[in-house]
Chain A
Amino acid sequence: MENETTFEIQEKDGLLVHQGVIRVPYTWAAGEVASRFYAGLREKKVLGLRCPACKVVLVPPKKVCHRCFSDLTDWVEVGDEGVLQTFTVVHYSEPDLHPVEAPFAYGIIKLDGADTGMTHLIGEADIKGLKAGMRLKAVFRHQPQGNYLDIAYFKPIEEANHG
């Protein structure tokens, strides 16, 4: 790994503009909570933490309840299906950022048994037909890597499959 700063000099309105690139390697410790969450996804289980005071189940989990400041230790498994709370269809391309090609959709999904929403990609969907309130199901990545895309995306549940 290298720490790289490069320079090119350009001119604008008779003044110089220095152009560079900053590339700095970094590591982030996932910590106990996220490590356990990702261990759950490896077994296709979505884990959350229940706040002992607020009683809300936070998915994805975190160490401290932002509302009451409780230390969260009460692990619960929630469903891999849930309700789409809000969404957007993205029409512009940012190949360095977007994991999929535009147009594609982001949504916030509240899983069954969770009280918070999970921001994610929506896949295998008619993106013109998305509606808040529709039910979605997690599609797990075949070979989990220990990151957020171990759920590859959420897909709409066919009406015929439930009811």
Chain B
Amino acid sequence: MDKVAIIGVGQTRYERGNTKSFAELVYEVTRKALDDAGLELDNIDNVVTTTNDFYDGRTIACMAVAEASGSYGRDATNVEGDGTLSAFYGLMRTLSGVYDATIVTTHCKMSEGNPRKLFNQAFDPIYDRILGMDAISSSALQARAYMDRYGVTEEQCAMVSVKNHANARNNPYAHVALEITIDDVMKSPMLAEPIKRLDISPISDGACAIILATEERARKSAKKPVWVRGVAHCTDAYRLGERDLTYSAALETAAKKAYKMAGIRNPFKQIDVAEVYDAFSYMELMWYEGLGFCDRGKGGKLVESGKTQMGGELPVNPSGGVLSAHPVQVAGLARIAEAVLQLRGEAGGRQVPGAKTALAHGITGICGQTHCVWVLSNEEA
């Protein structure tokens, strides 16, 4: 693969009930990403937006944010899915040789809709939608299958919530920063067994943008470029009953491909910091395994060891992760933006000292049907 770098990032603060319009939110991060890269819109020749018509409550929803992303008079396109996937599309367009610099934007105002009803619409209208499942109840089926198979405990899941909510206290963009104990998580109201109130991510509004550039353009950028060293995307079966819910086959495949591109043989040793899509506490443990940070079933032991805390061998979600801010579709791009800040040494109180290689991960679909893995570095290949 030719060299591509991320040269600009911008995020809003994540919160519930944000009063900006879609365009106002997206303009804020587009402007921030351009300023971060030291570019003007004239330097951008390619725009990728990220929308979901159901979430936005309007059809062709990209039209609400395209102009605020700088689309006028330019090649503008749209992805429906997590921001890691729009970034993936932006990367492909950058690699086409046609464009110098690509801006990728995402926004979410999930608080304005009805998240449970909207997520239920992801189920098959011909078959099981009528059961009324949503993200929480369907993920509970996955959590139980995984935890039963490997003896992962609710306390181990709670440790993820404690760790990430505490990390969020160092992230000015985070929505929910908490100083809580395992006991607090265990005693929080049961929603869908074994998932409790403090095991789930909040409903967050916000936006994020990144700018991808060709090698030539990246060398002229204001900030030190962060190079895309490996990236891959893989999809599992749609129906839960057709997957082995005790591990993520799609994530294992995506991670292996991304590591091969990046020349990573031992991810736990070679990656300095990871930002993963922990929509629920148990997911972070499953994703450790899928990403090869430990063997299948050992995610609980890994969090227990403290190695994924700040100051540990491989800090995971120094930002507080998705458990601390869950703007749907934005959340994966925010993982990339956070990885970029880490690799530039600009992550403030959540900085992992000397980070050279970072991983960012996004999911889309019911119980993580699709996974996208990015390996980024401040060192050139």
Kindly state the separation between the CA atoms of A30 and B134 in the bound complex, as whole angstroms: 22
List the A side residues contacting B57 at CB < 8 Å. Answer: 20, 22
Kindly state the separation between the CA atoms of A103 and B129 in the bound complex, as whole angstroms: 19
The yes or no answer to A97 lying at the interface (CB within 8 A) is yes
Kindly state the separation between the CA atoms of A119 and B145 in the bound complex, as whole angstroms: 13
Kindly state the separation between the CA atoms of A80 and B94 in the bound complex, as whole angstroms: 53
Q: Which 3 A-B pairs have the closest CB atoms?
A: A117-B241, A88-B140, A97-B132
List the A side residues contacting B241 at CB < 8 Å. Answer: 85, 108, 110, 116-119
Q: Which of A17, A30, A92, A132 contacts B192 (CB 8 A)?
A: A92
Number of A-B contacts (CB under 8 A): 106
CB closest chain-A residue, reference B147: A86
Interface code A88-105, partner B: CB below 8 Å = 1, 0 otherwise?
Answer: 111110101111000000
Interface size on B, residues (CB 8 A): 39
Interface size on A, residues (CB 8 A): 41
Contact A28 B144 (CB under 8 A): no
Kindly state the separation between the CA atoms of A151 and B117 in the bound complex, as whole angstroms: 23
Kindly state the separation between the CA atoms of A88 and B148 in the bound complex, as whole angstroms: 12
The yes or no answer to B131 lying at the interface (CB within 8 A) is yes
Known A97-B116, A108-B141, A117-B240; further 5 A-B contacts with Cβ < 8 A: A12-B17, A86-B145, A87-B141, A120-B131, A148-B129
List the A side residues contacting B134 at CB < 8 Å. Answer: 94, 97
CB closest chain-A residue, reference B146: A86
The yes or no answer to B122 lying at the interface (CB within 8 A) is no
List the B side residues contacting A87 at CB < 8 Å. Answer: 141, 144
The yes or no answer to A121 lying at the interface (CB within 8 A) is yes
Q: Which of B17, B131, B142, B144 contacts A99 (CB 8 A)?
A: B131
A13-B19, A97-B117 known; A58-B242 Cβ under 8 A: yes
CB closest chain-B residue, reference A105: B193
Contact A86 B245 (CB under 8 A): yes
A34-B126, A34-B127 known; A88-B137 Cβ under 8 A: yes
